[in-house]
């Protein structure tokens, strides 16, 4: 047996130095391994980010491609921007609640009991005709005209909270013509938005004259804007001579054109809100300390906007003159939320009759239940 004759203390120091060296080597190896792991992790993260970006870009391109067509509809504030290269294009909106729904076949509607000789109904999402009864025959639109009046006002007013002061001629003119009024008085200052509700809900001619003055300085100049808008959206069988719908042989349209107008107008959120309001109270003024309670001529003649089949009448604009008969342009949705527009005209009856309301209920109650 051999013995190590080296000094034990020296041997201890050597062993200690060897362990220190070994630990240093291990730390260096661990640092190298950690650096490699970190580098690999960064590479993996970068690859995942690139893959995710590529997928998002592909999906965006797919959506954009699906949205490209001959017509596009966007918003500039509350103003509708309309681009059409084809009068038969389908109006759509990215906020449309029907965009992801399977529309399926158009519903079959029995029109045998309708009191309106002229009628046109479309499904909003794809413009598919549902009812077509003399839809291109010339009609007098009466107060359905005010759909265009409100739309043109919205698109030409930057601030709907700006005010207008009635000078009294608005009411006097409407009264002399035997037209319906909203009830604004001379010297009354109200927001322009209140005037728009005064046009749409109670069909106030006084409110129409006020908005014409505010936007264009006169009714005749405002009517020019109305006809320009009609041409822009493809209402080729329409001519307006006034902003109220009062009878004039040269003031005419068709059920199909009015449906096209309403289909366009409801893409504007401000318009749709006004159009679908049942009751609205105007701003308090010195003349009306509690404001004016305005009621929709459509909803005031409906016992309920909810029908037994789950359909809902969302909004409507009535019209009546002796020559026009009873007219109604309305919007409803079925139990699945699919929207439809119905325009009827020429129903007989005195001023107090409601055959147009009855026709709308008859039609919409036949929409498919959920």
pTM: 0.74
276: three-class secondary structure by DSSP: coil
* Catalytic pick among 92, 116, 146, 296: 146
18: three-class secondary structure by DSSP: helix
Give the Cα separation of 21 and 18 in Å (integer). Answer: 5
Q: What is the pLDDT of residue 49?
A: 67
Q: Are 264 and 92 in contact (CB under 8 A)?
A: no
Residue 322 exposed, middle or buried by CB count within 10 Å (0-12, 13-18, 19+)? exposed
User: Which of 273, 281, 270 shows the shortest CA–CA distance to 331?
Assistant: 273
Q: What is the pLDDT of residue 45?
A: 74
Which pair of structure tokens corresponds to residue 317?
């604009």
Which pair of structure tokens corresponds to residue 246?
């009062």
Give the Cα separation of 297 and 210 in Å (integer). Answer: 20
The CATH T-level fold of domain 75-364 is Beta-lactamase (3.40.710)
Q: Is 143 a catalytic residue?
A: yes
Q: Domain coordinates of the chain in residue numbers?
A: 9-68, 75-364
* Catalytic pick among 92, 116, 135, 203: 203
Give the Cα separation of 226 and 209 in Å (integer). Answer: 14
* Catalytic pick among 143, 253, 296, 305: 143
Question: Residues with Cβ < 8 Å from 143, sequence gap 6 or more?
Answer: 180, 203, 244, 245, 317, 318, 319, 320, 327
Give pLDDT tens digits for 184-226.
Answer: 999 999 999 999 999 999 999 999 999 999 999 999 999 999 9
Q: What is the pLDDT of residue 17?
A: 67
Q: Are 226 and 154 in contact (CB under 8 A)?
A: no
82: three-class secondary structure by DSSP: strand
Q: Are 324 and 248 in contact (CB under 8 A)?
A: no
| CA neighbours closer than 13 Å in the CB half-sphere of residue 199 | 29
Per-residue pLDDT of the chain (370 residues; tens, 9 = 90+): 554 555 666 666 666 666 667 777 777 777 788 778 787 777 787 777 666 665 655 454 443 333 333 333 323 333 333 333 344 333 443 344 444 457 788 999 999 999 999 999 999 999 999 999 999 999 999 999 999 999 999 999 999 999 999 999 999 999 999 999 999 999 999 999 999 999 999 999 999 999 999 999 999 999 999 999 999 999 999 999 999 999 999 999 999 999 999 999 999 999 999 999 999 999 999 999 999 999 999 999 998 999 999 999 999 999 999 999 999 999 999 999 999 999 999 999 999 999 999 999 999 999 999 7
Give the Cα separation of 196 and 265 in Å (integer). Answer: 14
* Strands (E) located in the chain: 71-76, 79-84, 118-123, 129-133, 163-165, 189-191, 279-281, 293-295, 312-321, 325-333, 339-347
Give the Cα separation of 223 and 193 in Å (integer). Answer: 20
């Amino acid at each position: 047996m051999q013995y190590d004759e080296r000094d034990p203390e020296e041997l201890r120091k050597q062993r200690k130095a060897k362990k220190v060296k070994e630990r240093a080597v291990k730390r260096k190896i661990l640092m190298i391994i950690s650096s490699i792991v970190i580098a690999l992790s960064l590479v993996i993260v970068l690859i995942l980010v690139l893959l995710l970006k590529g997928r998002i870009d592909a999906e965006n391109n797919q959506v954009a491609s699906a949205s490209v067509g001959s017509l596009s509809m966007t918003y500039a504030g509350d103003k509708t921007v309309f681009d059409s290269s084809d009068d038969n294009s389908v109006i759509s909106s990215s906020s449309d609640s029907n965009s992801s729904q399977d529309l399926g076949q158009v519903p079959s509607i029995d029109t045998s009991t309708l009191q309106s000789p002229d009628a046109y109904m479309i499904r909003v999402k794809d413009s598919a005709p549902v009812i077509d009864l003399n839809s291109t025959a010339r009609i007098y639109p009466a107060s359905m005209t005010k759909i265009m009046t409100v739309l043109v006002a919205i698109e030409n007013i930057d601030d709907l909270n700006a005010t207008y002061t009635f000078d009294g001629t608005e009411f006097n003119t409407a009264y002399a013509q035997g037209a319906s009024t909203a009830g604004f008085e001379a010297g009354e200052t109200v927001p322009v938005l209140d005037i728009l509700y005064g046009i749409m809900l109670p069909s106030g001619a006084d409110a129409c004259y006020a908005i014409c003055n505010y936007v264009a300085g006169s009714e005749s100049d405002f009517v020019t804007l109305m006809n320009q808008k009609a041409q822009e959206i493809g209402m080729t069988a329409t001519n307006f001579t006034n902003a109220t719908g009062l009878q004039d042989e040269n003031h005419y349209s068709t059920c199909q054109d009015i449906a096209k107008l309403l289909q366009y107008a409801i893409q504007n959120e401000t318009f749709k809100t006004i159009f679908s309001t049942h009751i609205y109270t105007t701003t308090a003024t010195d003349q009306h300390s509690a404001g004016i309670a305005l009621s929709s001529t459509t909803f005031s003649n409906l016992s309920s906007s909810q029908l037994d089949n789950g359909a809902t009448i969302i909004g409507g604009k009535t019209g009546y003159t002796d020559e026009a008969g009873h007219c109604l342009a309305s919007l409803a949705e079925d139990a699945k939320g699919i929207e439809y527009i119905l325009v009827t005209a020429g129903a007989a009856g005195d001023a107090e009759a409601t055959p147009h309301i009855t026709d709308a209920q008859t039609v919409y109650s036949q929409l498919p239940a959920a």
